[in-house]
């Protein structure tokens, strides 16, 4: 397995819409394994292929306390979302150390495939629902800060730019 470089917002590649996975092979399995290793190392609770500059519909998620609840979702789709909405504080590996509230459906039902192509469905609420929706946004070329005001986005860009300049 290998750690993959994570793109940082506002990198334009994060706006790329991911294409459906059609080949369920060893390459896909290795990519999912590398993404999981990268997510755990970061550390994070979710990672979309878009964030590692692979524009395919693949996400990995683990919201468990013991980090033994890894879920790999290929070609995920939300097939139902509750009318009830909740605000959660979100962060993102592509926008390091930035957190803000985003309102999303409180519960969702997801249909996806595993790395072998087998379909499955599950219901999610709480952190899992937030994480699934957040990562699926990445597959659609959207980063959570785009839910924030233009003013907040500008402040975040300035903060990230200054942090990058200090790192040089």
The answer to the question of whether 92 is labelled as a binding residue is: yes
pLDDT at 74: 98
pLDDT at 84: 98
pLDDT at 167: 79
Q: What is the DSSP letter of 6?
A: P
Residue 160 binned pLDDT confidence (cut-offs 50, 70, 90): confident
**Phi (first) and psi of residue 41, to 5 degrees:** -70, -30
Please tell me whether the overall predicted TM-score, pTM, comes out greater than 0.85 for this model: yes
Pick the catalytic residue: 77, 103, 121, 135? 135
Is 135 a residue of the active site? yes
Q: What is the pLDDT of residues 33-87, one digit of tens each?
A: 999 999 999 999 999 999 999 999 999 999 999 999 999 999 999 999 999 999 9
Question: The tokens of 126 are what?
Answer: 């709480």
Beta bridge partners of 125: 107
The answer to the question of whether 134 is labelled as a binding residue is: yes
Alpha-carbon torsion (1, 141, 139, 125), positive or negative:
positive
The answer to the question of whether 55 is labelled as a binding residue is: no
Residue 92 binned pLDDT confidence (cut-offs 50, 70, 90): very high
Question: The tokens of 106 are what?
Answer: 């409180």
């Amino acid at each position: 397995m290998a750690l993959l470089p994570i793109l940082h917002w506002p990198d334009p590649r994060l706006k790329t819409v991911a294409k459906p996975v059609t080949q369920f092979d060893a390459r896909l399995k290795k990519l999912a394994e590398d993404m999981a290793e990268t997510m755990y190392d970061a550390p994070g609770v979710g990672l979309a292929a878009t964030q590692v500059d692979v524009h395919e519909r693949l996400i990995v998620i683990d919201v468990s306390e013991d980090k033994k609840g890894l879920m790999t979702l290929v070609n995920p789709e939300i097939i139902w979302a509750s009318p009830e909405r909740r605000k959660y504080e979100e962060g993102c590996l592509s926008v390091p150390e930035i957190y803000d509230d985003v309102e999303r459906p409180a519960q969702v039902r997801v249909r996806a495939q595993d790395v072998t192509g087998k379909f499955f469905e599950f219901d999610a609420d709480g952190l899992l629902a937030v994480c699934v929706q957040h990562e699926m946004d990445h597959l659609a070329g959207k980063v959570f800060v785009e839910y924030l005001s233009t003013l907040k986005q500008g402040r975040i860009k300035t903060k990230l730019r200054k942090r990058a300049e200090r790192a040089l």
